[in-house]
Structure 1
Amino acid sequence: MAKEVNVLRVSMVCLVLVAVLLLLAVVALGVGSAGYSLQQIIQALFYDESGPVRVVVYNLRLPRLIMAVEVGACLAVAGALLQAVMRNPLADPGIIGVSAGAATAATTILLL
């Protein structure tokens, strides 16, 4: 019985997080130097054949939004894998020297 409640709770949390992600995605499509309303963005996404709003949304904002979601997901998976491999819920990249290696590579690139 307790396992069913736990699965239900995890499912609800995942559903709420997906809903928040979708809401923030719509907000992210609307935020920018060219202030477009929500109605204009939805029309550009689904109905508009051509126009400046469609160009801005499809060529600038949507690719940036998709890339941000992908990078966030990859960082989350990388953190979870690091914690699982180290068997430490507080593991960070400094434990295995990833931070020092990244700093060395950044310094080398700057010097070159």
Structure 2
Amino acid sequence: MESLIQTFDAWLPWVQHQSGQMLLIIRTDNAREFKALEAWGQPKGIEFEFIEPGTPPQNGVAERYNRLVLEITRALLFDAKIHKKYWKYAVLYANYLRNRTTMIKGSEDEDR
């Protein structure tokens, strides 16, 4: 828990400096570690909004993106016959590939 608070303490000024605005709301799932951050955010004026458990439609875009990156990762590992210990590198590369691929609205990826 302490490392999460330290991470947020380092992240908060960076985000506020980059955006030029104060962070007011953080939306996240109902994980215990995020629930415990409410006490951290209250004196800073940060409100936490928690999505309902078991409602993937509330974060559908992120869910689709994560699923696509995992599919690319599996394809990279299986096609190249690479051991699973290199999973994290395959995920990074899959994300790199996805971010540099042009997606056309209405393509087959949108149908999922």
Q: Same fold (TM over 0.5)?
A: no
Q: Which has the higher contact order (CA 8 A, sep 6+)?
A: 2
Structure with greater helix percent: 1
TM-score by length of 1: 0.30
